[in-house]
């Protein structure tokens, strides 16, 4: 299973999320991912792609979101999501668990991604997010 690699190039529209969900289904089935981990992967990765489409690329259909998926040598299922936006500072997002921020629309997706994945990294000033899940 190590060495499995696939990729997607998506237009920045909400309809692209359906394509991502189908790819997640294929990849998790191939990697024999259990149901609990599947749920985490589905929510975290679709949230990451949704952020790339709406926040990164501002839903501009002329901008793309690239997704690379692989199983690395540490037996992790890795999703690398890249947008063509201006980037952002993930540390500057409001804490969505703080009652003062409960009404704010920003930060919840990133918080979910952090809670559901085993590891998350940002590169290229926030334009690239790397989400990792450890396989059993």
112-121 pLDDT, tens digit per residue, is 999 999 999 9
The single residue listed with the structure tokens 């981990």 is 37
- Mean pLDDT over 5-33 rounds to 96
State the average pLDDT for the chain: 93
Domains along the sequence of the chain with CATH = 5-134 (3.30.565.10)
Q: Identify the residue with better confidence: 3 or 12.
A: 12
The model carries a pTM of: 0.93
- Mean pLDDT over 21-45 rounds to 96
- CA-closest candidate to residue 122, choices 95, 94, 82, 85: 82
Neighbours of 19 (CB within 10 A): 15
């Amino acid at each position: 299973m190590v060495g499995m690699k696939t990729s997607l190039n998506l237009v920045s529209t909400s309809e692209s999320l359906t394509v991502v969900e189908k790819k997640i289904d294929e990849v998790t089935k191939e990697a024999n991912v259990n149901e609990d981990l599947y749920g985490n992967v589905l929510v975290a990765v679709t949230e990451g792609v949704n952020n790339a489409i709406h926040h990164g690329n501002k839903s501009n259909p002329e901008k793309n979101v690239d997704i690379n998926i692989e199983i690395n040598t540490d037996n992790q299922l890795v999703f690398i999501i890249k947008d063509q936006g201006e980037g952002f500072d993930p540390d500057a997002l409001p804490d969505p668990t703080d009652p003062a921020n409960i009404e704010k629309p920003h930060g919840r997706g990133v918080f979910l991604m952090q809670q559901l994945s085993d590891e998350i990294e940002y590169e290229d000033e926030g334009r690239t997010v790397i989400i990792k899940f450890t396989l059993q």
